[in-house]
Chains A and B, each alone.
Chain A
């Protein structure tokens, strides 16, 4: 299926989902209390920062291999939370970067974090380390960095490819506590086997809401839940219809695939 442009059904679906998310954000901003269940991996982040502080060794936060895109910006959001904690407790945070543009973004984000904690002079821009844009050169550099700097905690957030296991095993080697999360679902098994806490699936996108408890983000999270329920309902309806209609005759499949003007 070549989806170059949306059809009317896609447009309606998107409007419904987007409206749901925006509406829940608005209700949350108006002060409605929202419940979010405990997510163990995310609760571990603060604890992991604490351990590095106790040991007096630096932390390392990798934001993955992406450039300025959605998964990497989400990793950045988590990174600024950890950076603020690091600034508060007077800890070092090393950020290896694989994209030139993200060097600027990370520089900005960490400086802002130290500023918000009232310690702009303690910010170390040299801890934003551009390593390489090449996948495995980046992995080699980060492995060296993790082992040589004797980091106490590593955070692996962002989009990772095959190098995920290399990075996580370097942390194992240096005895760091590791928290990892990625939207690259096929890499999750490798984080599970070598990290102490793994954030699975869209827990990744729940991270900033969970950590900051900002009403806007919590509202968005509830909106995401409702949107997922809508998708789930569509699949259920489609499957029920599939009892009676052969594959392409299924009305829901036709709605999903019919091209505009064709």
Chain B
């Protein structure tokens, strides 16, 4: 949007202010725009589903290319609607079962594809040849130590009373809290950036203040 039309800016500004009004409290204006928002999002959902999924991926193969078996995709999809029937609800369950099964299969596969690279990345040299001060990596030692202690906190079937495990789990929890604090601090900039964006829109595009920079 380089030179958007005036009314688009006005619509944008009104929407922006309406959403910010919730910062004071829940109010009729916010409520109205919340409903408009959900309506627009629902409409956009229908629009994208039709234009990006149903027509190009289903309608064209079925009707244009004559791949008749695509009709079954629709039939399976419609099975979900039997959830509203008390007696024939098993039909919906059957369709769900297919999705739950594939979800489970992908979950099993996903474990390898996601965590094998992670395991590989966790294996770091702490100290290696030629065994002097320069080849010792304190940071890698700390990486290893954090990993072990945090993992030890998440053992559920052993009471955390044995001295070694107790100490390790407690250290792990502390390190975990440091990790979470750091993540929080690191996210502030990204979120503030979004607000600066909105502020620049309101100040310079809508109210047309002079830009000092």
| A interface residues (Cβ-Cβ under 8 A, vs B) | 1, 3, 6, 10, 13-14, 18, 34-37, 39, 67-70, 73, 101, 103-105, 107-108, 131-134, 137, 140-141, 143-144, 147-148, 186, 188-190, 192-193, 200-203, 206, 221-222, 224-225, 228-229, 231-232, 234-236, 238-239, 241-244, 246-247, 250, 252-253, 256-257
Contacts and interface: CB of A to CB of B under 8 A. Distances in A.
Interface of B: 19, 22, 26, 30-31, 34, 37-38, 40-42, 44-45, 80-81, 83-84, 89, 92-93, 96, 99-100, 103-104, 106-108, 111-113, 115-117, 119-120, 122-129, 144, 147-148, 151, 154-160, 176, 180-181, 183-184, 187
14 contacts: A14-B112, A37-B159, A101-B80, A101-B96, A101-B99, A132-B41, A144-B26, A148-B26, A189-B183, A189-B184, A222-B156, A242-B123, A253-B120, A256-B120
A36 B156 contact: yes
A242 B103 contact: no
Contact of B128 (A70, A103, A246): A246
Contacts of B100: 68, 73
User: Which residue, of B30, B126, B151, has the highest number of chain A Cβ atoms within 10 A?
Assistant: B151
The DSSP consensus for interface residues of chain A is helix
Contact of B41 (A134, A243, A252, A257): A134
Nearest to A141: B38
Contact of A201 (B19, B80, B154): B154
Contact of A144 (B34, B44, B151): B34
A134 B151 contact: no
B157 A243 contact: no
A235 B149 CA distance: 13
Contacts of B180: 188-189, 192
B41 A228 contact: no
Contact of A108 (B45, B89, B159): B89
Contacts of B22: 143
Contacts of A73: 100, 103
Nearest to A174: B26
Contacts of B81: 104
A221 B111 contact: no
B19 to A, nearest CB: 7
Nearest to B109: A6
Contacts of A231: 115, 119
Contacts of B96: 68, 101, 104-105, 108
Contact of A225 (B31, B158, B159, B187): B158
Contacts of A232: 148, 151
A242 B125 contact: yes
Contacts of B151: 228, 232
Nearest to B31: A144
B38 to A, nearest CB: 5
B90 to A, nearest CB: 10
B156 A137 contact: no
Given A68-B96, A189-B183, A253-B123, A225 B103 contact: no
Given A108-B83, A192-B180, A252-B123, A14 B111 contact: yes
Nearest to B98: A68
A189 B178 CA distance: 10
